A and B are shown apart, each in its own frame.
Chain A
Amino acid sequence: MSENPENPYLPRPMRIVRITVESSTRDTRTFELEWVNPEDGRAFLYLPGQFAELSVLGSGEAPISITSSPTQPNLQFCIKRMGVVTTAIHYMKEGDTLGVRGPYGNTFPLDLFKGKNILFIAGGIGLAPLRSVINYMLDDSHRKDYKDITILYGARTPGDLLFKYDLKAWGERPDVAYLETVDRAAAGYAGRVGFVPALLDQTAPKPKDTVAITCGPPIMIKYVLKSLTELGFPPEMIITTLEMRMKCGIGKCGRCNIGKYYVCIDGPVFSYAQLQKMPKEY
């Protein structure tokens, strides 16, 4: 009875070392952070797919997926300005401090991915959590564990394509097939125009020995799931991540459940097979 559990609600301070404006509308930025106290960093061991609660004292907390790969030195969060906390973060400058607690949630099923062809299908800011696992797989220490890697990415406009530095690097790699599309072209854009599910249909990837990993707006995911199923992907080989309104991130506050599953501890990564067993309430 005297055992004193550690307080899970205390944020640990991190310093912003770099802010990258990602979108032409400037509403999406990547924040690269380093630990103020290195021992906090040693305790923060994460894998692709996980998220953290970001905290701005006076504004509150918001759950944000980790977009960096554990193979990279610093933590990165790609944040779209949406609510009170993300707006407060957007007002911050390099050198400012914010709080982080986590890592929370499950991870992408890396064991399932080993030895397979990997097909990524991302829309908009849905690339943020997938970028973590993409860069993890493309790291020299892991690339040999996976066969063909295909990345399909789309955004509303060319200016909304995020992580352009990574997109370029992926496009230049001989061991990656990278294809992008936009819903609407803009002046000076010579690339593909069309929705992500259409690009998927045109690409028509073979389901044999392939895992599909998708994240994006709900309407995109809906059509991607339909297309993948028509292409013959079994539901166990389709992986997606969900989001719900969250507060605690540790399965106590009762907010992010879909049926008996809590997105914060049972997710955010689910297979389509798991999704099919859930009540349709997300």
Chain B
Amino acid sequence: MEPLQTWLVQLLEQDNPVAPIMRTAWGWPIMESLHFVGLSLLVGAVGIFDLRLLGVGRRIPMAAVRRLVPWGLGGFGLSILTGITFLMTEPNQYIYNPAFLLKVVFMMVAGVNAAIFAVTPFGRLLPDNGGATPRSAKVIATVSLCLWVATILSGRLITFYRPGVCDPNETRVVATCLP
């Protein structure tokens, strides 16, 4: 993983128009605020969707609750875009940060989990109104809720796991320090 990490940092460190804007007085705070607005939209939409699968608000037809999905994706997109601006400004503070790497893993698993729901019959076989949700869909909903909470948790912890300088005598699979 370390060569990939080094390559990513070099790629992100190349002259880009984003970093100078981010380093102005308002750049970083505004992007952070938008990152949290995106997070809230995602949690609101996905949270209500998953809780509906778990049986909260059973009278809401599944077709209706699906209308929230584009808003969840919109919130996710806003957080990804603003997240990329942090990455482009201080790449080595993220690419070598264990909390950030864990956060990426949580998001990827959450993506796979959502894709499983979207492409398998689990999602389509849901009773539209009132009935009990199949166990498979409940498992997916629980996993989804846990992963998004874990994503926020690891994201918030990034600042407490800033990478230090690596020990040159140590070999590593994943670098969680500055080589």
Q: Do A and B bind each other?
A: no
